[in-house]
Amino acid sequence: MKWFQHSSDSYTDFKHQSLIDNFGMEGYGFFWLCCEIVAQQGKNYRLKDVKMWKSALKRISLLPEEKITSLLFELGELKLISGKSLQSGVLYIPKMGDYSDDYTKRVRRVSEHSSESVRQDKKRVDKIRIEENKKEKPPTTKNELTPKEQAEKFFTDPVYYQKLARHFIDEKHYPRVFIDREFKKFHTYWTEKNGAGTKQKWQPPFQKTFEIQKRLNTWIIRSQDGFKK
């Protein structure tokens, strides 16, 4: 895709407004940067090489990796990108089909494809997009995971890590800087390994049980140091 359409009032879209509310124009510009690299380097509105596209985002945006992870999580939450695909290391923007131009149609015309063939191709693309959207599932709730699975997901999955952080920021109204700092300290403390390097501090036999949300609640409360919500 050589270029894509960008509506002059796209900033009025509710999802874009929510993005701006949470991350300012930096977040809004980051989303369109994602669209540009997917349009330029992707196939079927996807980029699969996670190292390549994350490096490109970091190099072009000059943002730290943690900020990029937070922004990608937010885009997934708003359905501006596919959160499910993101967990698999794929940058997929389903709505790029709405932004795309008629370049492909012109190429097919030159190649002597009929207008009817182009219409059929568009129907097939639309059908695939609908099916992909149907496959999208809401984020896994804590009731669907055992305490052990929740803890493992927190310590290994950056998206799940950010989801829990956003819970404290959006629902419990703690400042982002405070939560980012304490989550890092919590993660560092509990992932300390034993002498053999085979087990981390949060795992059995060191801890018989480890309910991640209760542990985080206790940690945050004890770390306030006079801070008032």
Please tell me the predicted confidence (pLDDT) of residue 229. Answer: 45
Q: What angle do CA 115, 94, 29 make, to 5 degrees?
A: 115
Phi, psi at 134, each rounded to 5°: -65, -30
E-assigned strands of the chain?
46-47, 91-92
The label of the residue with tokens 């949060």 reads 202
With a cut of 50, list the residues of the chain below it in pLDDT.
105, 108, 136-142, 226, 228-229
Note the helical H segments in the chain: 14-41, 50-61, 65-77, 83-87, 96-99, 103-110, 115-135, 147-156, 158-166, 176-190, 212-222
Nearest CA among 91, 107, 10 for reference residue 54: 91
- The torsion defined by the Cα of 197, 200, 201 and 203, in degrees rounded to 10, comes to -130
Helices 115-135 and 103-110 meet at what angle, rounded to 10?
140
Which SS3 state, helix, strand or coil, does residue 59 take?
Answer: helix
Please tell me the predicted confidence (pLDDT) of residue 150. Answer: 93
Nearest CA among 163, 168, 5, 24 for reference residue 97: 5
Please tell me the predicted confidence (pLDDT) of residue 2. Answer: 61
Rounded to whole angstroms, how far apart are CA atoms 187 and 154?
9
pLDDT digits over 35-65, tens only? 988 888 888 888 988 888 988 999 999 999 8
The residues that bridge with 91 in the sheet, in sequence order, are: 47
Tell me whether strands 46-47 and 91-92 are parallel, antiparallel or unpaired. antiparallel
Rounded to whole angstroms, how far apart are CA atoms 211 and 48?
34
Token duo for residue 132: 């992909």
Please tell me the predicted confidence (pLDDT) of residue 183. Answer: 95
Token duo for residue 120: 């059929």
Rg (CA), the chain: 21
Please tell me the predicted confidence (pLDDT) of residue 143. Answer: 53
Indicate the domain borders of the chain: 10-101, 142-222
